[in-house]
Amino acid sequence: MARSALERYGGFPFLSRLVMAFYDKVLDSDDLAPYFEDIDMRRLIDHQTKFVAFLMGGPASYTNDHLAHVHARLKINRADFDVMVETMRETLADFEVAPADISGIVHELQVRAPWVISASDSKDEPVPA
């Protein structure tokens, strides 16, 4: 049986370091940092590690409804979602993840955009239904 990308890169210890590095970049971003004010970052990093593990073929699972529920109050717009995806792409490259695996993870993020984005690019207007 083929090993998942998560297994090939060393499992949760590798992924934990990667996600922490990702959030270091996110918190340094003028576009993204405001979404994380008053957020328990330790708890978020734990959840995000499990989510990225899921994207890499790991054991956790997240439904689209769950993603929509936890992101709705944040009013994330497409431009900021794209900055987040690019930040993840850069972090994956920093950790020497193979280009094909980066493409796969980015694709998995992109297909979930409709459940994460809930605002227009003005940050104040909801996305039309």
Domains in the chain, start-ordered, CATH in brackets? 7-119 (1.10.490.10)
Predicted confidence (pLDDT) at residue 118 exceeds the cutoff of 60: yes
pTM, rounded to two decimals: 0.87
Joined tokens for residue 96: 């020497």
Report the mean per-residue pLDDT for the chain. 90
The dihedral sign for the CA sequence 47, 48, 53, 54: positive
Predicted confidence (pLDDT) at residue 63 exceeds the cutoff of 90: no
Cα gap 6→14, rounded to integer Å: 9
pLDDT digits (tens, 9 = 90+) for 30-62: 999 999 998 999 999 999 999 999 999 888 778
Note the pLDDT of residue 126: 45
